[in-house]
Chains A and B, each alone.
Chain A
Amino acid sequence: MSTRKKITGVLGNVATMALIAGTAVSLSIALSSAKADELHVYNWVDYIGESTIADFEAETGIKVIYDTYDSSETVDAKLITGSSGYDVVLHAGSFMPRLIEAGVFEVLDKSKLDNYANLDVDILKVVESWDQGNKYGVPYMWGTVGITYNVDMIKERMPDAPIGSFSMILDPSIISKFADCGISLLDSPVDVIPMTLSYLGLDPMSTNPEDYDKVVEAVSAIRGSVTTFDSSNYLNALPSKERCIAMTWSGDYAVAASRAEEAGVDINLNYFVPKEGAGAWFDMWAIPSDAPNKEAAYKWLNYMMRPEVIAAATNYTWYANANKAATPLVDEEIRTNPAVYPDSKAMERMYLAKTLPPKVERVRTRSWSRIKTGS
């Protein structure tokens, strides 16, 4: 748990580009040389139990080659290129439909997954909106998009700050009070734009280009107060008090807090899901159809569905998991934390990402660069 992991993330990013360039020339990269006792896993950075990999290796004798990424776009591009060399990949559910249509994933043979019954049926139902019939993906962890804030730094600047509302960010008169202590938005149009649409009372998955103009207008108005757009550096910037408000994924505030603790920094972080609506996301494990070692991939999937394994992962990452049988094994502090396991009232405010038509997606990305660059 240090900057090392983050660097690996960015290195991974650069490596991805190199790899894509490589595969485009159809030079087969050494990755694809499969060995029977090797398993290539591709997962989000900081997104697994502390000893999960070592335990899996000890039990099965399979050597795990573990790679991480720090943006969904990276893994998406790698998978759509093909011949990624990975046996099992974690991917955001909302990205799945397009990849499924392109034939990227293997239809899962559930007879090889005897722990499948541990999964939460309600969550399986939710992820069916991306993966009809739960044929391709095994839901892993899930969470929300929200705001992590430094309680003391906020109080100091605005004692009556509207904690709980996205106006903390989108109201120019409020956010300007915090401009000096560092504010970041996720560098992710698929997270920020729907949330802004929702705040404006519009459909978060709108297909109307004019709605996106309204988003540009709303975010541009507060753009001057935003320090940076960032999806991973906040894990260091929050503990080092370089940032007081960061739009983050739900578990990350806890990761940031534990890093502060490790560094001996006294800090009081908290997290909220905007009452105006927020995105819920679900990440899924899937096996690429060209995976070199599918047998080992099934063993991995089955292992990850063991209640004690996934509970340990949640206890370490502070992300809720999709495994019903594991819930009693999750630390009470986490299980009862509404930021991690939102109550039903909060769940009502959540929306799910949908695959937009390519033209709308282009409008969304274009709006995003308009927001970021002001042009």
Chain B
Amino acid sequence: MSRDAANKKLPTLSAGSIVKMAGDLSGKLIQRNWKRFVIAVPLVWLLIFFIVPFVIVLKISLAEGMIARPPFTPLFEWAEDLSFTISVTFENFRFLVTDDLYYSSYLNSLFLAGKSTIICLLIGYPMAYGIARSRSDIRGILLLMVVLPFWTSFLLRIYAWMGLLNKNGIINGALLSMGIIDEPLNMMFTEGAIYVGIVYSYLPFMILPLYATMEKLDESLNEAAADLGGKPFTVFYTVTLPLTLPGIVAGSLLVFIPATGEYVIPALLGNYDTLMIGRVLFDEFFSNRDWPVASAVAVALLAFLVVPIMMYQHFQAKDGERS
């Protein structure tokens, strides 16, 4: 960021500097092309795997359902006389407002994702801090242990939780045999099981960005604060916490956003009292076979999620200005 600022400074013209400027310019051109190339890779990726699918979903959300393959009306139509018609309907979005099912599922999902994010933060923050402050020779192993679960399929890990939480599962079996409980605990198909699944699955996404910011923390800042009479809590609150804020924001978004649209975990571990937008979307698509309304739900969900993403951008931009 600071280099960009320096580049913006206008070079003052003097006789000898013109040759130097020309050299600088060609260097800058190469640099700029290289930059463009580097940025182009993620841009193309975004374009193909995010923008294009989103435009298709948006397009379907503006169509009407019909019995055909694919099961919705086309948006553009070329008639034989080459006349061109565009048919757009906002009925699907209007429909989302008519039934409180969608509204309450959105809220429920946001609430559930928010709660999971906070739990992840509360567990992940001390863990990340511990890893960042650990001896450098075991730090690699600790980090590896955070990433290790990704080596097994996500779905299999959720199935493993089913085996643990079942009425006749491993946890109940162990507690029963130790005589701690007399009757098996009811853990499967509860809201608690959803939280266990989500927190377990997304915790690494919280720990890793937190670790990345904590690793860069300068220990001497804490010492200085302590030397100036700051109690441990004050030091944490005024020094460590603000410095790790970018990590907290990044980690929270990485947990919050996928958790909001989560389908698999509530479907496998959860009870059915928990309304979640992922399941509502599934029902629209698979049970009602109403692709346009399903797409409208997805577009609305994205709109809900764009707000936190923009907040994140805002934070990052601010952070950039500061440094």
A362→B286 CA distance, assembly (Å): 11
Q: Indicate if the CB atoms of B67 and A98 lie closer than 8 Å.
A: yes
Q: A225-264 interface mask toward B, CB cutoff 8 Å, 1 = contact, 0 = none?
A: 0011100000000001110000000000000000000000
Most buried by B among A14, A189, A362, A365: A362
**Is the CB of A134 closer than 8 A to any CB of chain B?**
no
Q: Indicate if the CB atoms of B155 and A80 lie closer than 8 Å.
A: no
Residues of A within 8 A of B222 (CB): none
Q: Indicate if the CB atoms of A374 and B287 lie closer than 8 Å.
A: no
A78 to chain B, nearest CB (A): 10
Q: Indicate if the CB atoms of A366 and B289 lie closer than 8 Å.
A: no
Query: In the complex, which of the residues A7, A102, A182, A229 contacts B71, with contact meaning CB atoms closer than 8 Å?
Result: A102
Q: Indicate if the CB atoms of B288 and A229 lie closer than 8 Å.
A: no
For window 224-275 of B, CB contacts with A under 8 Å fall at 264, 268, 271-275
**Is the CB of A368 closer than 8 A to any CB of chain B?**
yes
**Is the CB of A375 closer than 8 A to any CB of chain B?**
yes
* Cβ-closest chain A residue relative to B264: A14
Q: Indicate if the CB atoms of B52 and A25 lie closer than 8 Å.
A: yes
**Is the CB of B21 closer than 8 A to any CB of chain A?**
no
**Is the CB of B34 closer than 8 A to any CB of chain A?**
no
A227→B275 CA distance, assembly (Å): 17
* Cβ-closest chain B residue relative to A71: B286
* Cβ-closest chain A residue relative to B49: A25
Q: A174-198 interface mask toward B, CB cutoff 8 Å, 1 = contact, 0 = none?
A: 0000000010000001000000000
Residues of B within 8 A of A80 (CB): 69-71, 289
Q: Indicate if the CB atoms of B288 and A82 lie closer than 8 Å.
A: no
**Is the CB of B99 closer than 8 A to any CB of chain A?**
yes
Q: Indicate if the CB atoms of B288 and A24 lie closer than 8 Å.
A: no
* Cβ-closest chain A residue relative to B284: A365
Provide the main secondary structure of the chain A interface: helix
A182→B166 CA distance, assembly (Å): 12
A323 to chain B, nearest CB (A): 31
Q: Indicate if the CB atoms of A229 and B272 lie closer than 8 Å.
A: yes
A165→B160 CA distance, assembly (Å): 37
Residues of A within 8 A of B168 (CB): 240-242
Q: Indicate if the CB atoms of B189 and A82 lie closer than 8 Å.
A: no
Q: Indicate if the CB atoms of A242 and B167 lie closer than 8 Å.
A: yes
Q: Indicate if the CB atoms of B285 and A77 lie closer than 8 Å.
A: yes
Q: Indicate if the CB atoms of B283 and A365 lie closer than 8 Å.
A: yes
Quick one: given A11-B155, A242-B168, are A103 and B272 in contact (CB under 8 Å)? no
Q: Indicate if the CB atoms of A102 and B67 lie closer than 8 Å.
A: yes
A87 to chain B, nearest CB (A): 17
Most buried by A among B53, B155, B273, B288: B288
For window 348-375 of A, CB contacts with B under 8 Å fall at 358, 361-362, 365-366, 368-369, 372-375
Quick one: given A73-B286, A227-B189, A373-B274, are A101 and B101 in contact (CB under 8 Å)? no
A10→B287 CA distance, assembly (Å): 17
For window 49-64 of B, CB contacts with A under 8 Å fall at 52-53, 56-57, 60
* Cβ-closest chain A residue relative to B95: A362
Quick one: given A80-B71, A227-B189, A228-B189, are A7 and B159 in contact (CB under 8 Å)? yes
* Cβ-closest chain A residue relative to B57: A24
Query: In the complex, which of the residues A11, A76, A102 contacts B286, with contact meaning CB atoms closer than 8 Å?
Result: A76
**Is the CB of A74 closer than 8 A to any CB of chain B?**
yes
Query: In the complex, which of the residues A25, A71, A82, A242 contacts B166, with contact meaning CB atoms closer than 8 Å?
Result: A242
Q: A59-77 interface mask toward B, CB cutoff 8 Å, 1 = contact, 0 = none?
A: 0000000000001011011
For window 91-112 of A, CB contacts with B under 8 Å fall at 98, 101-104
A102→B72 CA distance, assembly (Å): 11
A281→B285 CA distance, assembly (Å): 23
A176 to chain B, nearest CB (A): 16
Residues of A within 8 A of B273 (CB): 372-374
Residues of A within 8 A of B100 (CB): 375
**Is the CB of A158 closer than 8 A to any CB of chain B?**
no
Q: Indicate if the CB atoms of B283 and A369 lie closer than 8 Å.
A: yes
Q: Indicate if the CB atoms of A82 and B70 lie closer than 8 Å.
A: yes
A80→B60 CA distance, assembly (Å): 14
Residues of B within 8 A of A77 (CB): 285-286, 289
Q: B280-313 interface mask toward A, CB cutoff 8 Å, 1 = contact, 0 = none?
A: 1001011111100000000000000000000000
Q: Indicate if the CB atoms of A21 and B155 lie closer than 8 Å.
A: no
Residues of B within 8 A of A375 (CB): 100-101, 104, 275
A216→B272 CA distance, assembly (Å): 15
Residues of B within 8 A of A82 (CB): 69-70
Quick one: given A77-B286, A102-B68, are A373 and B268 in contact (CB under 8 Å)? no
**Given A77-B289, A101-B67, A362-B288, 6 new contacts (CB under 8 A):** A7-B155, A7-B159, A80-B70, A82-B69, A361-B288, A372-B272
A-side residues, CB < 8 A to B, are 7, 10-11, 14, 21, 24-25, 71, 73-74, 76-77, 80-82, 98, 101-104, 182, 189, 227-229, 240-242, 358, 361-362, 365-366, 368-369, 372-375
Top 8 closest pairs, chain A to chain B, by CB: A73-B286, A372-B272, A365-B287, A102-B69, A373-B275, A101-B67, A82-B69, A365-B288
